[in-house]
Amino acid sequence: MGGRLDRLGSALAALLLAGFGFLPLANWIRGGLSAPWYGDVAADLLNGTAIAAGTGLVAAILLRQRRFARTPWTVARDRWVSAPRLAPLVIAVAALGAYLLVARWVLSGRPLLIDEVIQVYQARMLATGHLSLPAAAHQEFFSSFHVVEQHGRVFGQFPMGGPAMLALGTLLGGEWLVGPVFGALGVLAFAGLLRRIEPRPGVALAATLLFALAPFALFMSGSHMNHVTALCWLLIAMLGLARAAGDDGRFRDGLLTGLGFGLAAIIRPVDALAFALPAGLWLLGRAVRRRRIAVLLGAGLGIVAPLLVLAWSNLQTTGAPLLFGYTVLWGRAHDLGFHATPWGPVHTPLRGLELVNLYFLRLQTYLFESAGPALLPATIALALTRTLRPFDRYLLAASALLVGSYFAYWHDGFYLGPRFMYPLLPLLALWTARLPAALRERVGEGLLLRAATGAALVALALGLLTSLPIRIHQYRSGLLSLRWDPDRGAQAAGVEHALVLVRESWGAELVARLWALGVSRPDADALYRAADPCRLDMALTELERSAIRGTAAVAALAPLRGDSVRLVNAEAVTGDPSLRLTPGIQYPERCVLRIRENRSGFTLFPPLLLARRFGNVFARDLGARDSLLLRDYPGRPVYLLKPASGAVGAEPVFYQLRPDSLFAAWRAER
């Protein structure tokens, strides 16, 4: 019975990988998300597979009479066996070097996504011993996406675990160090786990190398994203679980298991739940069958401590132990489930299917950057497998729960790859490494095995020579405006103890003004997407003069949503893809001026929240409302920060302003 269930489980896993990873299901569902790039990518992967397979077959035929008693691989495998501590350490140190190189050379050691920016913002707050900070007198000049403003306090929307990990880097002088270090620690934990769950040393070594050096891991570990720290703690928990579930399992093993899952939960609760739930059921069943509850008690104690810290931090910020900042900011629509979303279309099961399909289609290239489909070896290995070990069943169950959770989550998690699927890396690395052994069990030491092994090596090598350099160039040349260091820029320009007004886009200014009127983040987003920007600007001016706020402001602005049917993309005119205009109308001079200013260049304000040297205050430029800032910060020199030109990626420049000229211009504007 057990063997039949194992075959069914592995076959089902292979079928799901094949279905989601090879078929463009999203393209077959009308009216939703799609993968317009599928045809080109599939053609490239098919060509790469043909080249790799042909080369592998030719090599297998030419070398079939050769017998190599000693190869670099057999030497490495022997060292893996003879030096059980040193070998994983060498791999982890090599991985650490690669991660550090990516962090500094490819990603510039800077947070390049709004999620990263705000978590670094939270980390620096934590490093000073605070969970939140007092709101400014006029917070609209300093507000940002993913920053919660509640009861006169401000704090980031993310659970405190991820920022707490980054705060270790803050204390050491560089948050960019955290990803590489935890990535390398994850390699050590995975290697330790493999020594307990994979008896074949060649498979364990190959899986460790794939996990450590997969391009998906390289780039993610070089970033500030919390997926890396969460996976590290999950692997530590799994290492404890592998020990705890054995015949020699002890209380301390359960404690390590619970602590790992608990620390992962305060970073990424959904990921932790997906892996902790089947682990808890496994340990519970073991305790009931064998009447050994010490391990279960240890796991319970280990997981409770971090969760209590998380509950306490939530209580101090959001006011409720189970209420997270993102729910305060975006409402219950942010949570798992099929419902209206904070922005964009309603999340339905069909849309969830599209998202899962997109994640696995992207894994085909982003996982290993190989010339062939990255999921093909793991899919074949699962399809060929007849029996599963207990930990294999656990990994498959936890991975299925993870995918199911993000099937029910509305946001498309894409950055440096399908990031929500990052916890699948251990499973995929292990089953990819198992392909030669699975083939050997089915077909023996024949031509097919040698050809398949050769083809896999050729596909990886071709990817390293072709796809990986392209990806590195893509990442190095992208998001240039976020790589600019405001502190270095201020130092170079001699700007100290100044008030710096940041010229954002017209659209960003409109959204900030909506927030200032007490309009919620979801309502502000909906209004900005639907309303003509000029009409919205003028309506906001009237509401600001009348001091109308909150629900009354939302009601007053509601008629503007009818503009949405006429708005068209006007990036060529405005320089901003999100700023849509109404064709065929004559805009007043004030709005024409704003469009010209927008086209001449703007910068992003959120990264400037991280400026912390030379006593400068960076605040967004809100036109005549800036007079409030001059009163709040009297006596400071005033600068305007904006790009020197409208060119994409142009560095911002500090332009000194005269306060008396500003006041004169504001009076004329009013």
pLDDT digits (tens, 9 = 90+) for 208-261: 999 999 999 999 999 999 999 999 999 999 999 999 988 888 999 999 999 999
Per-residue confidence at 665, pLDDT binned at 50, 70, 90? low
The stretch 265-270 carries a mean pLDDT of 97
519: confidence class by pLDDT, cuts 50, 70, 90: very high
Angle formed by the axes of helices 269-290 and 390-407, nearest 10°: 140
Higher pLDDT, 644 or 350: 350
Provide the pLDDT confidence category of residue 577 given band limits of 50, 70 and 90: confident
Percent of residues, the chain, with pLDDT higher than 70: 97
Question: What span, in angstroms and rounded, lies between the C-alpha atoms of 132 and 478?
Answer: 32
The predicted structure's pLDDT at residue 389: 92
Residue 68 pLDDT: 62
- Summarize the confidence of residues 251-272 as an average pLDDT: 96
- What is the model's pLDDT at position 649? 60
More reliable by pLDDT, 456 or 229: 229
How would you write 339-406 as a 3-class SS string? Answer: CCCCCCCCCCHHHHHHHHHHHHHHHHHHCCCCCCCCCHHHHHHHHHCCCCCHHHHHHHHHHHHHHHHH
Quick check: 475 pLDDT over 60? yes
526-554 per-position pLDDT tens digit: 899 999 999 999 999 999 888 889 999 99
pLDDT of residue 15: 94
Please tell me the least confidently modeled range out of 66-80, 156-170, 228-242, 509-523: 66-80
Among 256, 311, 307, 305, smallest CA distance to 279 is for 256
Residue 417 one-letter amino acid: G
Q: Does 343 score more than 90 pLDDT?
A: no
Question: Could you report the per-residue pLDDT of 609-629, keeping only the tens digit for each?
Answer: 999 889 999 999 988 888 888
State residue 533's pLDDT score.
92
Put residue 264 in one of left, alpha, beta given phi > 0 → left and psi -120 to 50 → alpha. Answer: alpha
pLDDT band at 576 (very low <50, low <70, confident <90, very high): confident
Q: Give strand ranges (E) for 125-208.
A: 133-134, 147-150, 153-156
pLDDT per position as a tens digit, 361-371: 999 999 999 99
Predicted pLDDT at 492: 93
pLDDT for 610:
94
Question: Position of tokens 């932790």?
Answer: 272
Q: Which of 91, 81, 145, 90 has the alpha carbon at shortest distance from 118? A: 145
647 band by pLDDT with thresholds 50, 70 and 90: low
| Per-residue model confidence (pLDDT) at position 599 | 86
Do 190 and 214 meet the contact criterion of CB atoms below 8 Å apart? no
Q: How confident is the model at residue 31 (pLDDT cuts 50, 70, 90)?
A: confident
- pLDDT over 70 (residue 646): no
Q: Report which of residues 298 and 563 the model is more confident about.
A: 298
Across the range 339-349, mean pLDDT stands at 87
pLDDT bin (cut points 50, 70, 90) of residue 288 is confident
C-alpha dihedral (16, 19, 20, 22), degrees to nearest 10:
130
State which of 8-17, 91-100, 454-463, 661-670 shows the largest mean pLDDT.
91-100
Number of Cβ within a 10 Å radius of residue 62: 9
The Cα 43–Cα 401 span in angstroms is: 32
Question: What pLDDT, on a 0 to 100 scale, did the predictor assign at position 233?
Answer: 98
Rg value, the chain, Cα: 27
